[in-house]
Structure 1
Amino acid sequence: MFEFLRSYIVYLALLSGIIGLFNLPKLPNNKAKFLVALIWFSVLTEVVGYYFTEWTGYLNYYVYNCYMFISFSAYILLIRSYLTKIQNRNTAILFLILFIASCFLNFLYFKDDVNQAFTYSFSAGVLLFMILSCLYLVEIFNSKKILNFKKSVFFWYLLGILLFHVPFLPFMLAINWFLIKQDDSIFSLVLFILNFLAHSCFIIGFIWSEKRYNY
């Protein structure tokens, strides 16, 4: 019933990406502009993922596994750039190494059949990113930035990423680990709702943020 919703996810990404481009003057440095680049990378991934099977005859897990590796690596490096404490920044580097190692081990373990979702790497990426997000929020709450944190585009981007990945992780694990039968209709509905929440946060961030808080 809801299978068609999955094809509309790309339009959510397009909308937030276009709004991000219109608000580039409010994004003063490369860190802020990188958020827009990540959104457009997700647009490209959705388009390639949608047609990948038609073009190659293979399932599109190859596309989304590559996207997962690149995006989580980018998220960790991005949040590290916003951390101020040396200990937290070093923790981010350690987490990046752990995530890359998890991807390597996941690939090694499933080397005979790489055409499936890298569930373990995705789980590791989400958990590591959640911990780094908590470290970032603790720094914000212990600084003067707490007074205007809602006017930072990065806060809204971070919130959008968390709103997508934190609920999606147990949903995906339930399908993969507990052998719950995947219903394409429910799967598409969940993906669409979570993408809607994430891109809504991105759009709010681009519109509501102020340039002086986007450094």
Structure 2
Amino acid sequence: MFEFLRCYIIYLALLSGIVGLLSLNKLPGKKAKSMVVLIWFAVLTELVGYYFTSWTGLLNYYVYNFYMFVSFSAYILLLRSLLLNYNYKKAATLFLILFIFSFFLNFLYFKDNNNKAFIYSFAIGVLLVMILSCLYLVEIFNSEKVLKFKKSVFFWYILGILVFHVPFLPFMLAINWFLILHDESIFSLVLFILNLLSHCCFIIGFIWSEKKYNY
């Protein structure tokens, strides 16, 4: 019933990617511009993922596993660059190493089941990003930045990441661990709604942010 919604996810990414390009003048450094690059990388992934099976005859888990590896690594690096506390930065570096190690360990261990490799690596990535995001938010709310946090594109981008990944993780684990029936219609609906909320956060950030808060 809702399977068709999954096809529209790429348009959400396209919209936020275009808004990001139009807002480049407010994104002064590589750190800020990297968010736009990641959104366009998501667009490319959705496009390749859609046609991958017809092109190769293989399941598109390979595409999304690669996307997950790149995106979570980028999220951790972005959060590391945003954190001010030295110990938090050190933790972010360790988290990146942990994620990379766990990704390849999962991939090797579950090499005959790439779907499981995706789920466990995804879970680890989400947990690590959640921890770093909480540290980032704690720093914001304990500093003068709290007065203008809504003017920072980074806040909205991190919020968008959390809005998608935090609810999606238990949904994925429920399907995997509790053997809940994988209904493609429900899956597509959940995926679309979470992507919609996430990209809305990105777009708000690009439009609402001010250049002086995006360094």
Q: TM-score range by the shorter chain?
A: over 0.9
Counterpart residue number, 2:30 = 30
Counterpart residue number, 2:76 = 76
Counterpart residue number, 2:122 = 122
1:181, distance to aligned residue in structure 2 (A): 1.1
In the superposition, the TM-score normalised over structure 1's length comes to 0.98
Q: Output the CA distance in 1 between the equivalents of 2:142 and 2:19.
A: 31
Aligned to 1:204, the other structure's residue is in SS state helix
Counterpart mapping for 1:83-162 below 5 A: 83-114=83-114, 117-162=117-162
Q: What is the root-mean-square deviation of aligned Cα atoms in Å?
A: 0.9
Q: Output the CA distance in 1 between the equivalents of 2:64 and 2:118.
A: 9
Aligned to 1:112, the other structure's residue is in SS state coil
In the superposition, the TM-score normalised over structure 2's length comes to 0.98
Question: Is the 2:110–2:117 Cα contact (8 Å) retained in structure 1?
Answer: no
1:114, distance to aligned residue in structure 2 (A): 3.2
1:104, distance to aligned residue in structure 2 (A): 1.4
Question: Is the 1:153–1:214 Cα contact (8 Å) retained in structure 2?
Answer: yes
Counterpart residue number, 1:171 = 171
Q: Output the CA distance in 2 between the equivalents of 1:178 and 1:59.
A: 23
1:112, distance to aligned residue in structure 2 (A): 2.9
Structure 1 alignment gaps of length 5 or more: none
Specify the code of the residue in structure 2 equivalent to 1:174: A
Q: 1:49 to 1:117 in 2, by over 3 A?
A: farther
Question: Is the 2:111–2:117 Cα contact (8 Å) retained in structure 1?
Answer: no
Question: Is the 2:130–2:162 Cα contact (8 Å) retained in structure 1?
Answer: yes
Counterpart residue number, 1:187 = 187
Q: 1:117 to 1:196 in 2, by over 3 A?
A: farther
Question: Is the 2:151–2:213 Cα contact (8 Å) retained in structure 1?
Answer: yes
Q: 1:142 to 1:115 in 2, by over 3 A?
A: closer
Q: Output the CA distance in 2 between the equivalents of 1:46 and 1:12.
A: 11
Q: Output the CA distance in 1 between the equivalents of 2:30 and 2:87.
A: 24
Q: Output the CA distance in 2 between the equivalents of 1:179 and 1:97.
A: 31
Structure 2 alignment gaps of length 5 or more: none
Aligned length: 215
Q: Deviations over 1:27-84 (max 9, x none)?
A: 0111000010000000000000000011011110000000001100000000100011
Identity of aligned residues (%): 77
Question: Is the 2:151–2:208 Cα contact (8 Å) retained in structure 1?
Answer: yes
Question: Is the 1:62–1:115 Cα contact (8 Å) retained in structure 2?
Answer: no
Q: Output the CA distance in 2 between the equivalents of 1:121 and 1:93.
A: 17
Specify the code of the residue in structure 1 equivalent to 2:199: H
